[in-house]
Every structure is written in structure tokens, then in C-alpha cells.
Amino acid sequence: MRPQRDSVLALVELMERKAPECLDLFTAQTDEEFEAAFDALLEKAVRHLEKNKVNFSRLNEVGLSAVLAGSLSIPGLSVTQETHSNGHVDISVDAYFCSPARTKLGEAKVYDGPKRHVEGLDQLLGRYTTGREGRGLLIEYFKKKNIKGLVEKLREAMDTDLPLKQKGACQDHKLKWSFITTHRHDSGEELDVGHIGCNLHVGEPGDE
């Protein structure tokens, strides 16, 4: 059967071609199903950034998050951003096709050490999150080299300090250079936050 060109069938086939995980996401019935599908979509968007990092080398966190938003958005799933003067970018993920609709909040910034990372986490958990949203998102664009070592140091610092009522040590994330923390929130809920590393280091000639 040849699908009608303007039909739901044609739209779903377009989405499936972009990423089958879109359909996993829209049909998710549990938080776990939704997060698993979103992680898969996010991984593709992060890989797109990393693959084209030379082209994006001049972009700041706003420009980089804009590329991420363009990669992730598809009818039923919108990714938007609000810029703040302190170098942070608020990201909002709205899956408005899901029933019930699901929202994720995030922060994005160029990595500048554990202290600045925790400031971003504070902003995410303290100011914007109500406790109703899904797992939070903290995206770090690493322009420095050795993302592996930097993420390990960041995890160690967080495991030592347990900032923002962090409950226990960092957990592994499905994505590379990424991890998950759990925090006691003022709402009484325990909220997970995914810390996502994106390797945008562009080596200079003579770089070791």
C-alpha cells in the first residue's frame, strides 16, 4: 500500500526515518520508557554536535544549544532555550504528543570546572524545577581536551561534596562521558539529573 502523502502514516514514517526512538518516546507509558527513548535521541544530537565540532567551534553555549534544539525537535517534541547573562542557558524539552504531556528542564554551558558545574546544577534544581518534571538535564560542552579525565574529576568532586542534597554517589549513564545524580528536592521528591558530556575539543596544530 502506498501511503497518502499527507497522512499520519506518512508523518510517522518520516519520524521513523529520522529516529525510531521518536516513536518509542511518543508511546512511552512510564518514566523509564520515556527517559530511555529520550537518551537515545539525545545521544544522536550530541554525536551530531561532536561530528561537526569544527564547524561549531566558534559557537558559545547559546549557539551550541540552538544546534542541539534543532537536532532534537520534531513534531510532538520541542526543545527551546532561554539565555541568561551569566553564561547559562535554560533548556526546556516539551513532549506535547505524549499522554500525559512530559516536560524536562535542563541547563547547558561550556565546561569551566566543578564549581561552575555545581552552580548550573543549583540553578536547575533551585530555581526552575518544581518537582513535576522528568529527569533533569545538565549539558556540558567540553572545549578543553581530555573530556574523559575532566568528567572523572567532576564525578569525584561531586561524590566527595554531595552538593545540593545529593543522595549517594554518581551513577553511570548510558551515554559516554555522562553520569546521573539523585537529589532531594524541596518538593519532597527525589529528582534525578543526567549530566551529559559533549566533546567539542578541537586540537591545535602541535597539540599533544
Candidates 44, 51, 52, 75; binder of other proteins (CB under 8 A) is: 75
Distance between CA 141 and CA 139 in Å, rounded?
7
Q: Which residues pair with 140 in a beta bridge?
A: 109, 197
Binding residue for other proteins, selected from 52, 57, 86, 99, defined by CB under 8 A: 99
Out of 52, 84, 96, 146, the only residue in the binding site for other proteins (CB under 8 A) is: 96
103 interacts with other proteins by CB under 8 A: no
| Separation of alpha carbons 120 and 2, rounded Å | 49
How far are the Cα atoms of 4, 24, 28, 73, 95 from residue 16, in angstroms, in the given order? 16, 10, 15, 14, 16
Q: Which is nearer to other proteins, 114 or 134 (CB)?
A: 134
Considering only 26, 34, 141, 179, the residue that binds other proteins (CB under 8 A) is 26
Give the one residue of 47, 50, 81, 185 binding other proteins; rule: CB under 8 A. 81
DSSP code at position 127: I
- Residue 4 has phi, psi (to 5 degrees) of -65, 140
User: Is residue 54 close enough to count as binding other proteins by CB under 8 A?
Assistant: no
32 touches other proteins (CB under 8 A): no
Is residue 97 within the footprint of other proteins (CB under 8 A)?
Answer: yes
Cell output for 160: 566527595
14 binds other proteins, rule: CB under 8 A = yes
Our CA dihedral for 93, 89, 122, 79, rounded to 10 degrees, sits at: 0
Instruction: Please tell me whether residue 11 binds other proteins under the rule CB under 8 A.
Output: yes
- Where along the sequence are the contacts to other proteins (CB under 8 A)? 1, 3-12, 14, 18, 23-24, 26-27, 29, 62-63, 66-67, 69-71, 73-81, 94, 96-99
